[in-house]
Structure 1
Amino acid sequence: MDLEYRLDGPQEAPVLVLSNSLGTTWQMWQPQMADFTRHFRVLRYNTRGHGRSPVSEGGLTLDSLGQDVIALLDHLDIERAFFCGISLGGMTGMWLNRHAPSRFPRIVVANTAAKIGEARGWLQRAATVRQQGMTPVASTAADRWFTPAFRKQNPGMVQLLIDDLAATPTEGYAACCEALAAANLRNEVAAMLRPMRVIAGTDDPVTTLQEAEWLAAQAKQTECVALPVSHLSNVACPSGFNQHVITFLTAGAAT
């Protein structure tokens, strides 16, 4: 297993897999760890191309990112787990709901959509970082990730995440952009059978509240909740985020 991962929390607790967003690492989940480890054995991993998780030969697709999660569970001899992913990690969660429902009783997807952005934009971004490095992306990310009020009140926290983004391996980031360019689950949403909670940001310019509401309306056993934040809702509103995740997943403990 070449994915970078770590486990925290009581060994006897149900496992919760956390999947990071594009340009972040498992460190983005730090605001959740104290609350989550009271209920779950938390499995964090770095999506391929991030941290020390290498890019596979031949590039990345949403299918391969989903298969990575299954392979990681198999490697750790974990038959079933809850899942929570944000943005790109949320798309991974939807893929798992569609293609591996027996492994995931309940799934939370945050700040995501069945199709994020347009292929042309993602391919242009991949080309930009390959040519110019991560600086152009890192210089504008705070505006996409957080509201002006949050940036003003929490400059240190914002800078830590931007520094992580700037340190993301260029080829890894570009390969994930290419995976997003091709990823489109809109025709598969109705076939997602496991209960899902969709967490949206009311001020999210990347994956809008309207897209989250569409997802909740189309997928079976799916509900949408909104937080007054932008794109990284788990960082900007950890108390609300944590409560939504814990109440939903623990309500399904017997599923």
Structure 2
Amino acid sequence: MYEGERLQLPNHHLHYCLDGDATDSAKPWLLFCNSLGTDLHMWDAQAAGLSPYFRVLRYDRRGHGKSDAPPPPYSLTDLGRDVIALLDALKIERAHFCGLSIGGLTGQWLGINAGTRLDRLVLCATAAKIGTEESWNARIDAVKTNGLAAMTEATAERWFTSQFRSAHEEAVGAILETFAEIDPEGYNGCCAALAAADLREEIRRIAHPVLAISGSDDSVCPPGDLQYIADNVQQGKHLALPGRHIVNVESAQEFNAALLGFLIE
């Protein structure tokens, strides 16, 4: 895979990459949006498995990976507008969207506020409201005091089952290494967006077909949170797959099959 491209915006740049033949207009666009504390490589298995069927666009959220971290705090509107700017720059009128955790919240915002830019929505390991303002503010304080590296063990526990961690030590280690290297200001800026985001009423306006995917053992966004989304958008269904929060990595084959079936049905 090539190193990707940079989109310069007024206050920061976004790093993105394309997989598959971007010139093949017969294939729809599929945009992936990463979780808090990861970069676009969290979608490597999806890019490899789905690029024969889609023009795949991945990017690093502001403050993550190779994207800049403008001064925090950020809002969910900021994160959603970054996506719109990326679509505009690449002259993509409409795309399928798949986001996990804060990426799923970004997708909900887009479905509510920029629905004409989307086709189908896949919202994974997310919720219409994730956590509480108090819990996110406590996370921000912890990062300021101790940094992200101190949180890797607890993060591994939240993100993956013990069986997966034991069987895939190298892959999990690479993801946790990325987590520890995230810009603390970028991470905390996104925590501020999570603290303020509450779309529990507004998601009723989402008219797109929605597939809500949960990790069956996810304590961050339990299956009930995804069932709530499926029940409250206008065309939603819920699917639980084995795994915890980063379910697209832990159940990659099942995840890809679910996306392919939903997006081309």
1:96 aligns with 2:110: yes
The letter of the residue matching 1:9 is: G
Counterpart of 2:260 (choices 225, 246, 254) is: 246
1:10 aligns with 2:21: yes
Q: Which whole-Å CA distance do the structure 2 matches of 1:175 and 1:183 have between them?
A: 13
The letter of the residue matching 2:240 is: A
Q: Which whole-Å CA distance do the structure 1 matches of 2:143 and 2:85 have between them?
A: 29
Counterpart of 2:241 (choices 208, 211, 227) is: 227
CA displacement at 1:57 relative to structure 2: 4.1
The letter of the residue matching 1:5 is: Y
CA displacement at 1:139 relative to structure 2: 2.6
CA displacement at 1:249 relative to structure 2: 0.9
* TM-score, normalised via structure 2 length: 0.92
Q: Which whole-Å CA distance do the structure 2 matches of 1:184 and 1:56 have between them?
A: 23
Counterpart of 1:152 (choices 145, 155, 166) is: 166
Q: 2:72 touches 2:185 (CA, 8 Å); kept in 1?
A: no
The letter of the residue matching 1:95 is: W
* TM-score, normalised via structure 1 length: 0.96
The letter of the residue matching 1:41 is: R
Counterpart of 2:180 (choices 162, 166, 175) is: 166
- Give every structure 1 segment of 4 or more consecutive aligned residues whose post-TM-superposition deviation is greater than 3 Å: none
Q: Which whole-Å CA distance do the structure 1 matches of 2:88 and 2:151 have between them?
A: 35
Q: Which whole-Å CA distance do the structure 2 matches of 1:78 and 1:144 have between them?
A: 35
Counterpart of 1:213 (choices 227, 230, 241) is: 227
Other-structure match for 2:205: 191
What is the SS of the residue equivalent to 1:5? strand
Q: Deviations over 1:109-166 (max 9, x none)?
A: 1000000111111111111112221122223111000111111111111111110000
Indicate how the Cα distance of structure 1 residues 58 and 31 shifts in structure 2: closer, same or farther if over 3 A, else same: closer
What is the SS of the residue equivalent to 1:24? coil
CA displacement at 1:195 relative to structure 2: 1.0
The letter of the residue matching 2:21 is: P
Which ranges of structure 2 fall in alignment gaps of 5 or more residues?
Answer: 1-7
The letter of the residue matching 2:75 is: T
Q: Which whole-Å CA distance do the structure 1 matches of 2:224 and 2:102 have between them?
A: 18
The count of aligned residue pairs is: 251
Which ranges of structure 1 fall in alignment gaps of 5 or more residues?
Answer: none
The letter of the residue matching 2:102 is: L
Give the RMSD, CA atoms, in angstroms: 1.0
Q: Which whole-Å CA distance do the structure 1 matches of 2:28 and 2:155 have between them?
A: 34
Other-structure match for 2:79: 65
Q: Deviations over 1:82-101 (max 9, x none)?
A: 11001110111111111111
Instruction: Name the one with the larger strand percent.
Output: 2
Q: Which whole-Å CA distance do the structure 1 matches of 2:166 and 2:153 have between them?
A: 16
Counterpart of 1:180 (choices 183, 186, 194) is: 194
Q: 2:72 touches 2:188 (CA, 8 Å); kept in 1?
A: no
Other-structure match for 1:142: 156
CA displacement at 1:58 relative to structure 2: 5.2
Q: Which whole-Å CA distance do the structure 2 matches of 1:58 and 1:112 have between them?
A: 22
Indicate how the Cα distance of structure 1 residues 60 and 153 shifts in structure 2: closer, same or farther if over 3 A, else same: same
Q: Which whole-Å CA distance do the structure 2 matches of 1:164 and 1:58 have between them?
A: 20
Other-structure match for 2:5: none
